[in-house]
């Protein structure tokens, strides 16, 4: 058994294979990653998710389902991301999604989701953020999907 990956590759004589070198080149340099003119860059190639500001002061643990249900009524369009995080704690899931593509004006959304296992059946709260002109994420909409 080899101790390091590079020694394993040499032992397997893979470095001399043109096919392996082509795959390595593609993996290291990317292939077809640049969007064509006028296309929206893929969401998967986005910057790191803006979750957690590093400053945990004022951020609480995730509330119970009942408390979150009541708090969700206080979430308003335009509310800053930090305020939402202070209310519900850091999200259980976070990701980017594209909205508005069918309407011809796509925009990137940040979607946060909290899963509440203390409800039967478990429920989730989803809040969608949109970037404002200054680069801050603000609530666009939210719901409790069935």
Q: Is the pLDDT of residue 81 over 90?
A: yes
CATH number at residue 59: 3.30.1450
**Helical axes 65-72 vs 81-88, angle rounded to 10°:** 150
Domain assignment present for 16: no
Domain assignment present for 37: no
**97 three-class SS:** strand
Mean pLDDT over all residues of the chain?
74
Q: How many domains does one find in the chain?
A: 1
What sign has the CA pseudo-torsion 130, 76, 145, 101? negative
Domain assignment present for 48: no
Give the per-residue pLDDT at 128. Answer: 98
Tokens of residue 31, six digits: 């292939």
CA distance linking residue 78 with residue 99, whole number of Å: 17
Domain assignment present for 127: yes
Give the per-residue pLDDT at 30. Answer: 42
Domain assignment present for 1: no
Tokens of residue 52, six digits: 């957690």
Region 61-65: mean pLDDT is 92
Q: What are the pLDDT digits (tens) for 38-48?
A: 444 444 444 45
Domain assignment present for 126: yes
CA distances from 63 to 87, 91, 105, 120, 142 (A): 8, 11, 36, 16, 17
Q: What are the pLDDT digits (tens) for 87-133?
A: 999 999 999 999 999 999 999 999 999 999 999 999 999 999 999 99
Domain assignment present for 22: no
Whether this model's pTM surpasses 0.75: no
Domain that holds residue 88: 53-143
Do 114 and 51 touch, CB atoms closer than 8 A? no
Domain assignment present for 60: yes
Three-state SS sequence of 24-53: HHHHHHCCCCCCCCCCCCCHHHCCCCCCCC
């Amino acid at each position: 058994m080899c101790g390091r990956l590079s020694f394993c590759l040499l032992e397997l004589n893979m470095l001399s294979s043109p096919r392996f070198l082509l795959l390595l080149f593609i993996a290291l340099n990317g292939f077809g990653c640049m969007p064509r003119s006028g296309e929206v860059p893929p969401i998967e190639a986005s910057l790191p998710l803006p979750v957690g500001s590093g400053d945990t002061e004022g951020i609480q643990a995730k509330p119970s389902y009942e408390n979150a249900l009541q708090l969700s009524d206080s979430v308003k369009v335009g509310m800053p991301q930090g305020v939402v995080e202070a209310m519900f704690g850091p999200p259980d899931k976070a990701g980017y999604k594209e909205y508005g593509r069918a309407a011809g004006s796509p925009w990137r959304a940040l979607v946060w989701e909290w899963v509440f296992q203390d409800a039967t059946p478990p429920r989730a709260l989803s809040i969608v953020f949109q970037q404002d002109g200054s680069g801050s994420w603000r609530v666009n909409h939210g719901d409790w999907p069935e």
